[in-house]
Amino acid sequence: MADLAITTTERNQRGSRSTAASCVLAAALVLSASVDSHAQGTAGAEVQAPAAADTRQSLYSVPVIDAGGRTTFLKTRICRPSGEGPSTLLVINHGSPPNAERPHMSLGSCGQEAAQWFIGRGYVVVFALRRGYGETGGVWAEDFGDCDHADYFRAGLETARDIAAVVSFATGLPFVRPQGAVVVGQSAGGWGTIAYDSVPHDKVAAFVVMAGGRGGHRKNLPNNNCRPELLVESAARYGTNARTPMLWIYTANDSYFGPPLARAMWQAFSRRGGEADLEQLGPYNQEGHHLFFGPGGSVIWGPLVERYFARLGISP
């Protein structure tokens, strides 16, 4: 069983906000325009037959429009709780494996532990494969470039673009509440979740970041991040425009984004006006980076999420 001890718990109180840099505003406007362009309910999506004859889950192809006006369809699975709803939407966003593995990624399952924790509490859970992953395919939009000039800021905003498309689509479904959605992201999905808080997100009321970051395991080596100072700098830029209080969860034995880097990102985000509870936990099994999706993980992160939801008044 994983170590349940919480080594440190920190809460940042919202400070005064500094004026956003022009590049941040430009990025936000581009993303906002993209969201508006496909916020037309279910009309633009392909609806497929329910998976495995289970009427509580369905597969969709959700449109996302890039900055150049090109449309890609994100393969998406929606998992419904019991009852007729409408229920609160909760979008779970995946990480980013090595290049060779990305084309072979599959959609998250309604039966996996992390999804069941939320479904059992009455949330509509959504998984989507972002651009460049698995069956969605296409260009890997969230590529941050070469290590020496890693553009984590832009990469995160592209992840946020895909998340925003899924939120916009799913909140238009009749069994989903149109407001008050929750976005959860692990690893690269967590980094995109931080980025999403920095741009318009009127349908989203809460953000949970599980081991969020980019550039970990450079050259496939643990505790070897690609230009971590640029990651910290980008977190600060997101903090300038972030408007919704967040929950960030990291572990002591995360070999991608260890405690010093997690704290540095949080401090940079906070100093620029972002608000987040930082939970730095003890070790989880052999690799803390896998806490969110790992066996028994929900026993550890579940109470932290419940407390965060209660503070913000989030309910299914």
The 10s digit of each residue's pLDDT in 50-93 is 344 455 999 999 999 999 999 999 999 999 999 988 999 999 99
- What Rg do the C-alpha atoms of the chain give, in angstroms? 18
Token reading at 179? 């407001």
Q: What is the pLDDT of residues 249-283, one digit of tens each?
A: 999 999 999 999 999 999 999 999 999 999 999 99
Domain boundaries, the chain: 6-311
Sign of CA dihedral 237, 243, 245, 246: negative
Statement: residue 310 has pLDDT above 70: yes
Give the max Cα distance, the chain. Answer: 52
DSSP bridge pairs for 71: 65
Token reading at 143? 């590529």
Statement: residue 141 has pLDDT above 90: yes
Q: Distance between CA 99 and CA 102 in Å, rounded?
A: 6
Q: Distance between CA 165 and CA 149 in Å, rounded?
A: 28
pLDDT at position 27, please?
A: 40
Cβ atoms of 38 and 168 within 8 Å: the answer is yes
Segment 33-38 mean pLDDT: 33
| Between residues 295 and 10, the one the model is more confident about | 295
| CATH H-level, domain 6-311: superfamily | Alpha/Beta hydrolase fold, catalytic domain (3.40.50.1820)
